[in-house]
Structure 1
């Protein structure tokens, strides 16, 4: 199953509720080209996408077709721990090179590349506040991130 988003449903990053996470004063390393690959969607499109995502958030819907990892630490208190989680994700998601959909709430969703997400994962996943679902566009994998700094990854069985 491929999740499609109409081009007309994308909104400017500056108008996105969480767009500040990729501003220069917060992330001085991100380039304008990289920021252009972070594509927020309208509130109505976010709600539509979340109807699809809700299906994947029910464990019973995943058990037969997906394999899950144990909960993985996403602690970002130092560069070593940031890189450790990034490396685990790269290894688990290596077979797939597709766009991803990131959703925080029913009305806050965006599309980006796997490479942007991996490079800047600490801007997408905030401890203490974010519970986030990340879904590959082709629904080959799903990441459930929880605000207490853990993630569970489900990958499609081969």
Structure 2
């Protein structure tokens, strides 16, 4: 059966079989409470590749952070060692419903579905600066987030949205 957004929830695997499970279940990194861990839906290889291909076929990142003119508005934030609360607030203000299921893609073999609220709460477990490039989307592609490995976050949207001024003092790569 080919993977699609209609059946992607049928292509999940147990967290114990997920290559990046240590981020969420190892006390050395972050040990999520069981009720939060149970809301993480790692995807199997076929579904992970489906998301990867969807992102690439839509040329989402053919220009960094996003393909020119795919989004009307691009906002950005900078992660520093002491601004976790500020980043959570910035993520909250993206305007997505807390219960919205979002798709996370690290690479073609690693992807996951999580509720937006869980992502906000534990964003620093999902994203490791210096090593990760993480794309977050939904199937509409009316918005996207790129967590870039230089501790930069880019949010593109086609919705009516006022960019944040909090991070204007930072230098960004793009």
Which bin holds the TM-score, normalised by the shorter protein? Answer: 0.7 to 0.9
Normalised by the length of structure 1, the TM-score is 0.84
Which residue among 46, 56, 61 is the counterpart of 1:57? 61
How much has 1:64 moved relative to structure 2?
Answer: 5.0
Structure with more contact order per residue of length (Cα contacts < 8 Å, sep ≥ 6):
1
Cα distance between partner residues in 1 of 2:105 and 2:155: 15
Aligned to 1:155: 157
Structure 1 position 138, deviation (Å): 3.7
Structure with more of its chain in helix, by fraction: 1
- Contact 1:132–1:146 (8 Å) recurs in 2: yes
After TM superposition, the score normalised by the length of structure 2 is 0.77
Tell me how far 1:137 sits from its aligned partner.
Answer: 4.1
Unaligned runs of 5+ in 2: 161-174
Q: Which runs of 5+ in 1 are unaligned?
A: none
Instruction: Find the structure with the greater CA-based Rg.
Output: 2
Report how many residues are paired. Answer: 151
Q: Write out aligned runs for 1:1-150 (5 A).
A: 3-25=5-27, 26-28=29-31, 30-54=32-56, 55=58, 56-59=60-63, 63-69=69-75, 71-75=76-80, 77-78=81-82, 81-91=83-93, 93-97=94-98, 98-150=100-152
